[in-house]
Structures are given as C-alpha cells and as structure tokens.
Structure 1
Amino acid sequence: MSTIKMVNPSNGDVLGEIKLDEIETVSIKMEKARNSFKVWSQISIDERIEYLYKMRKYLIENGEKVAEDISKATGKPPKEAYITEVFPVIDALKYYEKKATEILKPKRVKTPIHLFGKKSYIKYKPMGVIAVIAPWNYPFQLAMIPMISALVSGNTVIVKPSSVTAYVGIIMENIFREINIPDGVLQVLHGGSDIGNELVHSRPNKIFFTGSTKVGKIIMKAASEQLIPVELELGGKDPMIVLEDANLERAVNGALWGALSNSGQTCLSIERVYVHENIYTNFINLLSDRIEKLRQGYGDGFDIGSMTSINQIDIIKEQLEDALDKGAKILKGGTITDDKRFITPTILTDVNHDMKIMKEETFGPIIPVMVFRTEEEAIKLANDSEFGLGASVWSRDLEKAKRVADKIETGNICINDVIMHFANMNLPFGGIKQSGIGRYHSSDGIYAFCNTVSVLVDKGKKLRESNWYPYSKLKMAYLKRFIKFKYGK
C-alpha cells in the first residue's frame, strides 16, 4: 500500500503520511455504501437531521481547531479558513436542519379537470450512493456541503478529496467518527486521479464534481457511458463592472477581497475588472494604495496566505508572461517568491482580450484592470468569455445596476458586492456555459440528490376510464366537444 506525505504548502512542514487506498478498495467501499443505503434511506428525516445537529454542534465547539488544521493543509490564514470553510458548513447544516423536512415532504399539485376524481402529488426519493469529488481550493466546505445535502436526502456518500489537500480527508473522517454516523453512510477515499477515475467507473448513482472544466468534461464523458447523472461545479472568469457612479471606496475594497481572497484560488474570484474611463485613474490609484497595506504570509497575522497548489504558479506565470509580451504592465506585485509558495498580490493594467489572462481561468492573486467607455461596451466585454459562473456590477443607481446585471451571461451575480451570493443558502448556486451543469444550495441542493417521482392516485372504484378500450365514435365526439370548450377560447 503506497503512502504520500501531507505537507503545509506555505512552509513545507510535513503534517504526516497517509495511506492511499488501493484500486480494489473502491469497489469494497461502494458495496458497503450500497448496503448502508438500504437502511439509511429508510430511517426518518428527523433521525437523519439528528446527525446534522451533532455535526453542527461538533463544529461550533471545535471549529477553530478544524480551521487551524485546514489552514495547515491549504496555506490560507486560520481566520480565513474559519470564515470561508468552517462557517459555511455550519450555516448549511443549520439551514437543512430547519428546511429539509419541508423540502422533502410530498407536494400536492393540481389535477386537471379531465382527470377529475384523481389526486396528484410529487415524492422525492434518495438516489442511492453519491460520489462527491472535491477540489483543493476549499477542500472542506466544497466537500461537506454537497455531502450534507445528499445525506439528509437519504443517500449514502463516498467523498474523494484532492490529493493536494489529503489532510482534509482525515479531518472529515474524524468528524464522521465523532458523530457516530452509521458505518458505510459517509466514507472517504484517499488517492489521486486513478482512485477518482475508478470511483467514476464504479457506477455511483450520481457524481458531484467540483474542479476544473477540463477534468469535468472527462468525468461527464465517462459517466455518460453508464447514463450516470452528473453535477459539475467548474471554473470561472468572473467580471467586475465598475460604473461611473459607483461608490469608489466600496468598489476598491470589494475588488481586493473578491480577487485576492484565498490567494485568488476561488472559482468566484474577480478575474477581470472593467472600470469606467471617468473614474479609472482614481480607481487604480486607490487600488494601488490599498493593496500595499495587505499582509501576506502564513499564520494569524496575515490577510493573504500562500498558494495551495504549487502547480498553479506555473499557470499564473505563463499568463503573466503572455500579458507582458502583449503590452500589459505590472503596476504592483508580480513577484513569485524563491520557494515558489507565494505570489505577491498583483495589479495588471493595459490589458486586453487578446491576452490569456483575460480569457483563461487564472486562479491566483492577480487583478487585471481594463477601461471601458460605455455601458454596452462593458456588457460586451463581460460576456466575451466561455465561462459563466459569477459576476458583479457596482453602481449607486440600483436600477441601472440591475439593468446591466440582467444582460450579463452568468449563473450568479452580485450588485455592489462580490462572491456573497454563495453565502446565502436560500439561493441556488451553479454556472452556465463552461462553468458547469446543475445547481446546489437552497431546496435545489436537496432535489439535486433525489429522484423526483410523479404519483397519480385514483380510488379505483370505476371499472373503466373513458379513454380506455373500446374506442368509439361517441367517445371521440365527446372528446372533441370537451377540447373545444376547454381550449378553444
């Protein structure tokens, strides 16, 4: 059995070793999950919610320690780990504790007059075993929230964390043990792409993948061979449009946090900033001043941590070099530390859409800023992307901001804010175009893991329905008369 060292990406400290699962282990855990599903799917929603409560209570009592461990695995500051990893999971747990029973109960729907005497309703049944394949940028919350949604719906779950942040898999396993979840209901697979590939081919009842568009397409292709439904939360290239009448201070502060949070390793990061020509100079000056005050390093005293994946630095370096070759200028930052763990927060000006950094996902602490002249131009630039995950529009005139926002091709949008639509569990989340398929959070986050069953009930007293055999001219005459009366007006 092979092992890998788990390393803190910010300083190289070894966190320990983890035994990787063998290929054969996947089928063993899948079988266990299927057997557990037979029991778990039959217990009451209240019983399942009790485990959500135990999990929430554990995270409230131990959240800071969990955040510290996540920080070690990812290189992000502990406070950021608590705010962006632990708290969203606590919030999601509370949301589904309150809402799951109502969401999952059978829904009566209207029965049309031509089916008079019958009743119609919808039932939501769990799908079976859900494979959650999680990313390395938010390895805790982006595994836990879909897992929670699937769990409360009555499914069993196999989570496959990224090998880049394998330590988080151990964190999750500890939580599962602490709440005494029944054996086989929640399981973790440790390994690389070979294990993920085997999990996809082990015929789970649904695959929930968060990660790159490239890998998402590979998973979707493999799943299609078995008609396994997939949900794909993929990449983004989110635009920020700063209109002439925007609150400049708020817009600059929003740009800094939206672009640099988690060192820019966020699918919803601001990766393109478009600023109206009349405020461009003031925006750039204020942005330059504020970015210098940010503290970068590892630990509690810093705002911005390290890169989590060292490989990502090569992608960012290539994009920067391409931009500089085509005329862009680095106004601030742009330094990669000698140990290749940190990239200083960077402002890039004189950019255009011929540059990779304005077209391809960057996933790093880079803020490219481009000027625009008209509202129409800003909308065209924002939509000039194969991605459609998030966007933001900034203006004091809310009607104008809403008008612009309505024309942006995206799955999620904020006005005078950034990323925070993800923090509202009442809002469904997901992308369009190359940014993904499906929605989670809100009631959609439960229905995503359910088979929707349509039910029609008749009392069964009549011997025959009017539309049954034998057909006759009289029946046809009655039907034509009914159609003319009901639909002909």
Structure 2
Amino acid sequence: MWIGGKWREAKTYEPLYSPHTNEFLSDIGQAEPADAIEAIVEANAAFQKFRNYPAHARAKILAKVADILEERSLECAEIMALEGAKSIRNAREEINRTVQTYRFAAEAAKSNYGEQIPMDAAEGGENRFGFTIRTPIGVVTAITPFNFPFNLVAHKVGPAIAAGNAIVLKPAEQTPISSLFLAEAFKEAGLPDGVLNIIPGKGDVLSEALTTHPYVKKVTFTGSVEVGHIIQQQAGFRKLTLELGSNSPFIIDEGVDIDQLIERSVMGAFSYNGQVCISIQRIYVHQSLYGEFLERFVSRTKQLVIGSPLDEKTNITSVISKKSLDRLQSWINEAVQEGAKIECGGTVVGNVLVPTVLTNVNRDSKVSRFEVFGPVVCIAPFDTLDNAIAEANDSRYGLNSGIITPSIERAFYAATRLETGGVIVNDIPTYRIDNMPYGGWKDSGVGREGVKYAMREMMEEKFISLKFSDNN
C-alpha cells in the first residue's frame, strides 16, 4: 500500500495470477478499512497545503509524470499484458493515451477560469461587480476498473491533482500493479507526500470507508451499475461521478459504403475482447446492406488471431476471469435457447471465448438487454431509421451510440433522438479521445469525465460580489 508518500505493509496478502495463463504474478497487499481511513486522514492533511500550490507547479508535476510514463511505456504495457491479459498492441495504445491524458491534465491545471456576472443586468445590481471562482474540493476517493488500468486511473488522478485536491485510489482487484506503479512515478515527479494514496484491496471491504468518511468530499467510481447504486446510497450528499454500464448500439444506414466500415466495426466490437465500456454490442444494419455486411463482418471476425497477450500478432486473449467466462457462456447458451443463431464463435479455447456473432436475438435476451462486457456482438436488420433509433434506445443504458450515414440530415435527426451521453456520427460508438466530455444517461451513470470536465466536478464554484460606493 502507498500511504502518506511511503510504502506500507498490509496485514494480509493475496496472490495475483495472469488471467491468460494462470501464472503467478505477485502477492498483493489487501487494505482493510483502517488502512483506508489512514489514507484519507493523510490525504486530508496533505490537502491543507497542496490546495495552495500554484497552478504552474501542479502542471509541472503532471507533465513530469507524463514524461516518466512515456519513457517507461514498454514496461507499463507489459504490466497490463500480464495482469489484465490486454494484447501488447492495445496496451501500448493505452499508455500513449495515458501520457496524453496527464498532459491534458497539466494544461487544465493552468486553465481554471471563472466567469464574470453582469450584475447590473438586474435591478438593484448597480455598482456591483460579480464573478465566480473554482476552488479545490478536498479529498477525492477513486475506485477504478480493470479494463483500462492506466488510462481510466489517469482520468481520476490527473484532474484531481490538477484541481489541487488530494486523492485516495482503490484500483481494480485484478489490475493493482498498474496503479501501484504510479506511486513512485508521482514521487519522482515531485508530488508532495500524501496527495496521492493507493490502497489495493476488495471493494466490498473498503467501499464504506471510502464513501462515508467525513473528510471525503467527492467519490468517483467506474464499474457496474449494481455497485454504482450502492455507492450512490453510501455517498449521500457528497459530489459523485459514476461511470457505469453500457450496451452501445451502432446504426449503419442505407447508402453506406461497407468497404469503409468492416474493419472499424470488428475492432469496435472485439478490441480488448469486448471488455470496453463503449464496445459495440448491438449493430443495426439497414436491410439493403444487411446480408453483405453480416457475411463480411463474420468473415473478418474469423480472421482475428487468438494468442498470448505478449505476441504482437494477437487480437484476442482471455477475458478477465473464469467467472466472467462462465457468465458469457451462460448468456450465449440462453440466447440460443431463445432463438438466436451463432454465426461464428461461441466456443472456448483455454481461457478464451472465441469472438461470437449472434443474429435473430430476442431483444430481452441478456446478450441484448444487459452489458455483455465480452467478445459478443448482436447484429440485426432494420427497415426505417425510426425503427433503428427505437431499438437503440430500448435499453437501460445510455453511454455512447454511433450512426454512420451519408445523409447529414439523417445524422442530425438520429443524433438528437438517440438517448445517450455521446453520439458518434460516421464512426463507431467505441470512439473516444481523452479531452472530450464522456458520461452517460439513464443507468450509465451521472457526471462527466474528460479531464477538464472531471476537474470541474472535483471543484466547488464560489460566487463573489463586490459593492462599490454609490458616490462614484
């Protein structure tokens, strides 16, 4: 554990294994509630000084961390490949994005603007000057997922530090080494002791302390809807960001050139084995293109290479756990019993679920209704754009959606009606860059990430009014 700028021994340790090979990787300290409380107390003490750090100093720290990660990018990528079974190519891409995220955070630290209020726009506002400032909120606790163990951590740690806050990070149980790597990177970059604390352990053991301690002013969580609801109840009136589940729809309209989208669509469905919040889960194809698209999509899917995460040629590796693999198999079998057809995949090789394409899926089957979070995609035809939009919106989730169409009118028509926090036009819903606003509607969560947007949610806005003498 990393608490108060020092390594701390835990009372208990648990072994961490590679999900792809079952190889032993390390013994990981398991924080207890008392450790979480100690980390929060240390963070609060550090915050009292760090809140006054000038913006340029915070920016330099974040920029230095970006440089360290860039210099050690291969080491970081290999950590992800081992503990998360992410293909080495995807892992390198994530580190590149992580470096960019911390650089965005460095820029955001220097761009903390308020707003001038025209006081004399209201009667009684004469001779007054009004403005707002944003101030750091205090201790932020962050609970992060396994699927992007460097970059999604950066989306919480970077904005928190840019804003002048202190943070206590609880990384995902399967990918703690990626987070623990940050401890000495931030130390080397000059971050004061106690501003960043990292406590690996089990969420159900630590969540109450992380969400209810009186020093905690903001909780940010990325994970499942079910856990998000528990955290929302625990956190009470604290500021809260919840990045929860998704079930991303992708609409392919009539008149589209299929040559331009097969590769991109397959990538959007199966990148990191579909374990991406905005992975394509449902594809709706205009009936005039459906047959050709399905044939070519299945053909390209069958060409994906299954192999070791450390092999440069690998596209598909194991999913994160045996529990996840068993769930995916159960959902596929249930869908078939309810009438679905397996166009390819559906089988298991070692710890790997072969990429699976389903058609004729009952809309109430789990693979269509809930978040699959695995290498499974459902494809269906549609007659009219209104039908496709209605099908896409028939979900408890609303994170990202996508539509590809040659018509700007139909693009805007769909974009204004799709019930998601982001609509990606003429690309897959899996598209994300790290400075764009990112967050969902409905059960996909509350709040927004995307560096400057996350930073704003980690600050308090204060209005200040100055009255001048009436004699002037």
TM-score by length of 1: 0.90
Give 2:208's aligned residue.
197
Q: Identify the residue that residue 7 of structure 2 maps to in structure 1.
A: none
Cα displacement string for residues 401-440 of structure 1 (whole angstroms, at most 9, x for unaligned residues): 2222221100011112124652151x21100000000012
2:463 is aligned to 454
| Other-structure match for 1:82 | 92
Larger Rg: 1
* Structure 2 counterpart of 1:334: 346
Task: Give, in angstroms, the shift of residue 399 of structure 1.
Answer: 2.8
Asked whether the 8 Å contact 1:26–1:202 carries over to 2, the reply is no
| Residue 181 of structure 1 pairs with residue 230 of structure 2 | no
Number of residues paired by the alignment? Answer: 456
% identical aligned pairs: 27
- Residues 24 and 460 of structure 1, relative CA distance in 2, 3 Å threshold: farther
* Equivalent AA in structure 2 for residue 53 of structure 1: A
- State whether residues 246 and 444 of structure 2, in contact with CA within 8 Å, keep that contact through their aligned partners in structure 1: yes
Inter-partner Cα distance in structure 2 for 1:23 and 1:268? 32
Residue in 2 that maps onto 1:345:
355
Q: State the one-letter code of the partner of 1:438.
A: G
Pair 1:272-2:277 in alignment: no
Match of 2:317 in 1: 305
Residues 120 and 127, structure 2, Cα contact 8 Å, conserved in 1: no
**Structure 2 alignment gaps of length 5 or more:** 1-10
State the TM-score, normalizing by the size of structure 2.
0.93
- Partners in 2 of 1:100 and 1:116 — Cα distance? 34
Alpha-carbon contact 1:269-1:419 (below 8 Å) kept? yes
- Is the contact made by 1:243 and 1:275 (CA closer than 8 Å) also made in structure 2? yes
| Alpha-carbon separation, structure 2, partners of 1:442 and 1:160 | 19
Return structure 1 stretches of 4+ with deviation > 4 angstroms.
none
2:102 and 2:154 in contact (8 A); partners too: no
Distance 1:131 1:228, change over 3 A: same
Post-superposition Cα deviations, 1:7-59, rounded to whole Å, max 9, x if no partner, equal: 11111111111221232111111111000001100110001111011101101
Q: CA shift at 1:190, angstroms?
A: 1.3
Give the structure 1 partner of residue 55 of structure 2. 45
Q: Which residue matches 1:397?
A: 407
Secondary structure at 1:254's aligned position in 2? helix
- Distance in 2, matches of 1:248 and 1:62, equals 39
Tell whether the 8 Å contact from 2:159 to 2:458 is kept in structure 1 after alignment: yes
Aligned mate of 1:439, from 436, 439, 448: 448
Q: Secondary structure at the match of 1:176?
A: helix
SS of equivalent residue, structure 1 residue 182: coil
What is the deviation of 1:172?
A: 2.2
How do residues 414-425 of structure 1 correspond to structure 2 at under 5 angstroms?
Answer: 414-419=424-429, 421-425=431-435
* Paired letter, 2:459: C
Distance in 2 (CA, whole Å) between partners of 1:43 and 1:399 is: 49
Which of 192, 196, 212 matches 2:224? 212
User: Which AA in structure 2 matches 1:310?
Assistant: K
Residue-by-residue CA offset, 1:216-243 (whole Å, 9 max, x unaligned): 000000111xx21211000001101111
Residue 175 of structure 2: SS of its match in structure 1?
A: helix
Shift of 1:352: 2.7
CA RMSD of aligned residues (A): 1.6
Distance 2:316 2:446 in 1: 31
Matched-pair contact (CA < 8 Å) for 1:412–1:421: no
Q: 1:431 corresponds to which letter in structure 2?
A: G
> Which piece of structure 1 moves more, 453-462 or 285-294?
453-462
Q: Give yes or no for the alignment of 1:96 onto 2:105.
A: yes
> Residue 270 of structure 2 corresponds to which residue in structure 1?
260
